[in-house]
Structure 1
Amino acid sequence: MSLIATENAVLAAIRKHTEAENPSSFLTLNSGNSTFSVPEADGVIVYRRTGRHVVQFGGPFAATEDYDLLAGRFLEHVREQNLSLVGVQLQRHDAERYRRYGFTVNQVGASWARRLEDFTLRGTRFMQLRNKISRAHRNGLEIREVAAEDWEAELKVIDGAWLSSKGGASQLEFLVGQMGGEVQPLRRLFVGTIEGAPVAYISYSPVYGSRAGWMHDLSRRIPEGSPGLMEAINAHAIEVFRGEGVAWLHFGFTPFTGLDADFEIEGHSPAFQWLMSALWAEGAALYPAQTQLSYKQKWAPDLVIPEYVAFDGQASLASFAHIFRACKAF
């Protein structure tokens, strides 16, 4: 067995094995991730170690015929070290396989996406959204697509103001995008300024597979800035993407959202299912799921993609907590 740390190997895997159909696959390239592979299998598994737990991102990004081999070898590797494995952001086909491996699998949330071919902001449905966008432009907002390396100082200003508004919170990792690194040229960055001062940005990551396009990823704004900054930047980016013939805009994964009993896998934990519903209703202190979903629903997403958590054995609150530890949420 070999543990590899070459980001290019991960990039090659997520580009090649698009059958994974994971809209957040580009997050595998975040710094701080570890990667597992075996010579006999074409593919990789991406994970982070937190204490006595291993938190796996998605399923194996692997050739169909090598999926079970790679997953099995990784599980053996984790168990040999007396560690506990929990997987997050598994897609439906991953969830069904992991259930067959003996895991307890539950829906943990959903990703949201919008088809761009027929998208328009016309009509009464988007009246409030148009008003917010217009207000930002009336306040002097200018938007441009830029290279991140040319805007490092400006982005730090926005990041600093945003984190300060969160009580000096740390930057989240793992299930959230990042800026910089050797794959930064593959992302796209749209920045908003007012009177030359940076006020907001949105970074978009590529999405591979049958619903290829871009994912609305990392976004930050000056807290005291004009209303409608993020909406205006995203609307601008959508028009750019539509002009390029991009088919899909993905809004990424939000835990505790899109929960539906019909999405659950046979053998799921009813107690964990209840916990997810409770966190949707009352878990804003852990994660602002309702606020995140409210923003996404402004764009009338027409696709809900259920995503899953998988526990090696019984569903475990301790294992679930380690997902958030891997994200540096606490």
Structure 2
Amino acid sequence: MSSQTSQDTLGVSVEYVLNAIQEFSASENPSSFLAVNEGNSYFALPGRPGVIVYRPAGDFLIQFGGPFAPAASYVDLVRAFADHATARGRRLAVIQLQRRDAEIYAGEGFTVNQVGASYAVDLTAFTLAGSRYMQLRNKISRALRSGLTVVEADYEQWRDGVDDINTRWLPLKGEGARPLEYLVGQTGGPMQKHRRLFVGHIDGEAIGYVSYSPVYGANEGWMHDLSRRLPDSPAGVMEAVNKAAIDVFRSEGVPWLHFGFTPFTSLSDEREVPGHSLGFKWLMHHLWENQVVYPASSQLAYKQKWNQSLVLTEYAAFPGRASAEGFVNIWRAANAM
């Protein structure tokens, strides 16, 4: 490590992290607000602006995104955090790097590979007109005819309904399923005031919701984050909630609606960076084709309904050689294993 002494979570406030993701948005990470999730750990260099976000998993430190930092301290943070992990007997794995991050990490000796993509809709040109969207329009109409009302909701007023949906939604994911963490957002807590919540209800009973997180940078807007519904809710509830949110965002002049990271999707040779691992590349394609870790195809199908116009490739990075064990621990940090 450099002669500067690092500081970890105890010396970095969540307010500092929030300021960093708002101010230093050059990496254009649409999921940057996940940096302020409760349960995250933080690394910084005293006197140097910027922060790295991570969680421990097994023998690894799992870093979320690149440093949220200006160019002057970005590489110093990359190097110092790698040394920080080594000094503590931990290995390092990085997830959800953007293209600019990926190129810098590759230049620092990391092996960097595609792991999926995130998607966004240009709300200034958004439309559901035409035969292509007839099925989606019909699905939304049926949900509304069932008595569904969609409101932008105050979280505290709808907390019980949200909690009930969360409890009853999880069994939909299969026996033994656990709620994902780290790479998805949260509801409640001190950062809730920065999010927006849209709830679908019938006669006052919440049956589905979508939580939206702010997105900073050139493609600023909102990210469609958590979306959950009751098992017996009518078909089209989530689509109706999202369409209502889109109408509100467009009326406010919001330019982009992001749909977040989907693993194993939009993989292509053109998006790889120099020095990538051929074995890790094969693994990502295998996981897409077999859907054994994550239901990527169903997630992608939902996102493609909305006529996305921006695809952002996301990457994983490992010091030295690519690590399958590191990738497993990324999913462990996300509570998927």
Same fold by TM (over 0.5)? yes
For residues 280 and 161 of structure 1, what CA distance do their matches in structure 2 show? 28
For residues 162 and 261 of structure 1, what CA distance do their matches in structure 2 show? 37
Residue by residue, what CA displacement relative to the aligned partner does 1:46-96 show, whole Å, maximum 9, x if unpaired?
000112101000000001111111111111111112211010000011111
For residues 89 and 230 of structure 2, what CA distance do their matches in structure 1 show? 45
Tell me what 2:230 maps to: 222
Tell me what 1:2 maps to: 7
- Specify the code of the residue in structure 1 equivalent to 2:144: H
**Do structure 1's residue 243 and structure 2's residue 251 form an aligned pair?**
yes
Tell me what 2:188 maps to: 180
1:152 is displaced (CA, Å) by: 1.1
- Specify the code of the residue in structure 2 equivalent to 1:2: Q
For residues 2 and 150 of structure 1, what CA distance do their matches in structure 2 show? 38
For residues 212 and 321 of structure 2, what CA distance do their matches in structure 1 show? 36
**Do structure 1's residue 273 and structure 2's residue 278 form an aligned pair?**
no
**Do structure 1's residue 311 and structure 2's residue 318 form an aligned pair?**
yes
For residues 49 and 22 of structure 2, what CA distance do their matches in structure 1 show? 13
For residues 191 and 269 of structure 1, what CA distance do their matches in structure 2 show? 43
- Give the secondary-structure state (helix, strand or coil) at the position aligned to 1:308: strand
Which runs of 5 or more residues in structure 1 are unaligned? none
TM-score (norm 2): 0.96
Aligned pair partner of 1:159 in 157, 166, 177: 166
For residues 212 and 146 of structure 1, what CA distance do their matches in structure 2 show? 22
- Give the secondary-structure state (helix, strand or coil) at the position aligned to 1:18: coil
Tell me what 1:120 maps to: 127
Q: How does 1:62-77 map to 2 (within 5 A)?
A: 62-77=69-84
Conserved 8 A contact 1:41-1:69: no
1:221 is displaced (CA, Å) by: 0.6
Residue by residue, what CA displacement relative to the aligned partner does 1:202-261 show, whole Å, maximum 9, x if unpaired?
000000000000000001011221010010010110010000000000000000011111
1:168 is displaced (CA, Å) by: 5.0
Q: How does 1:1-330 map to 2 (within 5 A)?
A: 1-4=6-9, 5-166=12-173, 167=175, 169-283=177-291, 285-330=292-337
- Specify the code of the residue in structure 1 equivalent to 2:233: G
* Structure 1 runs (4+) greater than 4 angstroms displaced: none
Which runs of 5 or more residues in structure 2 are unaligned? 1-5
For residues 320 and 164 of structure 2, what CA distance do their matches in structure 1 show? 45
For residues 168 and 181 of structure 1, what CA distance do their matches in structure 2 show? 26
- Specify the code of the residue in structure 2 equivalent to 1:43: G
- Give the secondary-structure state (helix, strand or coil) at the position aligned to 1:117: helix
For residues 255 and 231 of structure 2, what CA distance do their matches in structure 1 show? 32
For residues 140 and 151 of structure 1, what CA distance do their matches in structure 2 show? 18
- Give the secondary-structure state (helix, strand or coil) at the position aligned to 2:26: helix
- Specify the code of the residue in structure 2 equivalent to 1:71: V
For residues 88 and 10 of structure 1, what CA distance do their matches in structure 2 show? 18
How many pairs were matched up? 329
- Specify the code of the residue in structure 2 equivalent to 1:321: V
Q: Which moved more, 1:158-167 or 1:10-19?
A: 158-167
1:147 is displaced (CA, Å) by: 1.2
For residues 274 and 41 of structure 1, what CA distance do their matches in structure 2 show? 39
- Specify the code of the residue in structure 2 equivalent to 1:262: E
1:101 is displaced (CA, Å) by: 1.1
* Percentage identity across paired residues of the two chains: 53
- Give the secondary-structure state (helix, strand or coil) at the position aligned to 1:296: helix
For residues 158 and 274 of structure 1, what CA distance do their matches in structure 2 show? 38
For residues 271 and 40 of structure 1, what CA distance do their matches in structure 2 show? 40
Instruction: Give the root-mean-square deviation of aligned CA atoms.
Output: 0.9
